[in-house]
Amino acid sequence: MTEQQWLKMYRETVHPLYGYMARRTRGNRELTEDIVQESYLRALDDWNRKAVPDSPLAWLKRVARNILIDYLRQKRWVSKGDLDLNPDSANQTSEDQFESLEIFLAISTLGRKKARILEAFYYDGKSVREIANEMAISERAVEGQLRRARQSLKSLLPDSKTNGGKNE
């Protein structure tokens, strides 16, 4: 991988990666920037040793998501005051952001299939039809899976935290 290829890949992926992560951190700019930066540094290290993956963006998203989960897991035993919350950037209170991040962490503990469908619907703002096309299943099946995933999430969180709408 030459430097030009590396920078070209960066320019092509940084906007979608940033958007993907910002939706999961509810617009917490500092946290999103740190995670995006760390993901590219890991990519450089990994791709130099091995090879550039077939879909760099998918690889980066997966790594960024894992970094966020690791970060939230490290913080779960401390108070929200220790989280680097930046409420102004998303017109939210620290309380809102804390809850959003808690919900994201709870979603990550659900099975891969449930987490994928909830994230696609709530964080990436995809419609039931788009998810059905991506997963090659019927819209009805998507609705059923969404309902079951929501129920699983509810059992992990107090009621008030799962009543929000789509993250748009």
Partner 1 sequence: MSEIYEPDGQFLERLEWQLSSEYRRTNRLKPSSGKIAVPRRMVAITCMVGILMTGVAMIKAAEYIQDSWRKKIEIARAETEVKLKKAHLESTREMASRAEMRFSNGLVREEEYRVIQIAAKRAELDWNKSLLNLDEVKASGAAPRNELYAPEVGGRDFVSERLKIEIKEIELDLELFRSRVERLKQLVEKGLVQGDEFGLIQSEIAARKVTIDKIQKRLDLRKRFVAGEITAQEVEIKDRMTIAERNLHLAQSMVDSLSEQLKRLKTLETKGMISPLEIKQMQYALDAAQAELELATLEMDVLKKLK
- CB-hemisphere CA count at 13 Å for 27? 11
Q: Tokens in use for 125?
A: 């703002």
User: Is 134 one of the binding residues for partner 1 (CB under 8 A)?
Assistant: no
Distance CA 154, CA 160 (A): 9
DSSP 8-state assignment for residue 27:
T
Q: How many residues bind partner 1 (CB under 8 A)?
A: 30
Distance CA 58, CA 160 (A): 32
Question: Pattern of binders to partner 1 over 6-25, x per CB under 8 A?
Answer: xx--xx--xx--xx--xx--
Question: Pattern of binders to partner 1 over 86-125, x per CB under 8 A?
Answer: ---xx-----------------------------------
Region 22-51 residues binding partner 1, contact defined as CB under 8 A: 22-23, 27, 29-30, 32-34, 36-37, 40-41, 44-45, 48
- Rg for the chain, CA atoms, rounded: 17
Closest CA to 17 of 36, 34, 43: 36
The nearest distance, CB 154 to partner 1, in angstroms, is 27
**Residue 85 · residue 97 · CB < 8 Å:** yes
Q: Which residues bind partner 1 (CB under 8 A)?
A: 3, 6-7, 10-11, 14-15, 18-19, 22-23, 27, 29-30, 32-34, 36-37, 40-41, 44-45, 48, 74, 78, 82, 84, 89-90
